[in-house]
Every structure is written in C-alpha cells, then in structure tokens.
C-alpha cells in the first residue's frame, strides 16, 4: 500500500484514507471528520473523492491499487 501525501495542508496520506475506507468510511464528510483532509485549501478534494470511489467500489483490491494521479 502506498503512503503518499494526498492532503498537503493537513498531512493526510493515501494510507490513512484507505484505512478509513476499510473501517467503513463512505463519504467525504467521514474522511474530513477523521483526518481533516480537504479542510484547508481544498486542492485535494478531487483526489480524496477518487480514492473513496475507487476503494468503495473495489474493497477487496487495495493490494492491487496501482493508479497514479
């Protein structure tokens, strides 16, 4: 699992977001509440949405996740 930074303003990594999805997070509000991602400049919003959508639709495929943004 990659651990690149998704939200630079709040130091949120891809790994943290994926861990939330595995625990059941399904939307931006839940990710925002637990990580503060998207609460600064907002530039990470589309990437967080893409991660949520991809991993919510493919919960069993996190080990095969190879998409680069």
Q: Which stretches of the chain bind ligand FES, using CB under 6 A? A: 7-10, 37-44
Nearer to ligand FES, 47 or 62 (CB): 47
- Cβ 11 to ligand FES shortest distance, Å: 9
- Cβ 12 to ligand FES shortest distance, Å: 7
Measure CA 18 to chain center. 6
Torsion sign across C-alpha atoms 53, 35, 65, 47: positive
- Cβ 41 to ligand FES shortest distance, Å: 4
Helix orientation angle between 45-57 and 14-22, rounded to the nearest 10 degrees? 40
Nearer to ligand FES, 26 or 43 (CB): 43
Residue that the structure tokens 């990580």 belong to: 35
């Amino acid at each position: 699992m990659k651990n690149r930074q998704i939200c630079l303003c709040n130091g949120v990594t891809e790994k943290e977001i994926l861990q939330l999805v595995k625990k059941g997070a399904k939307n931006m509000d839940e990710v925002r509440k637990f990580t503060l991602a998207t609460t600064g400049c907002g530039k990470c919003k589309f990437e967080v949405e893409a991660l949520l959508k991809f991993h919510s639709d493919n919960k069993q495929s996190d080990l095969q996740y190879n998409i680069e943004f």
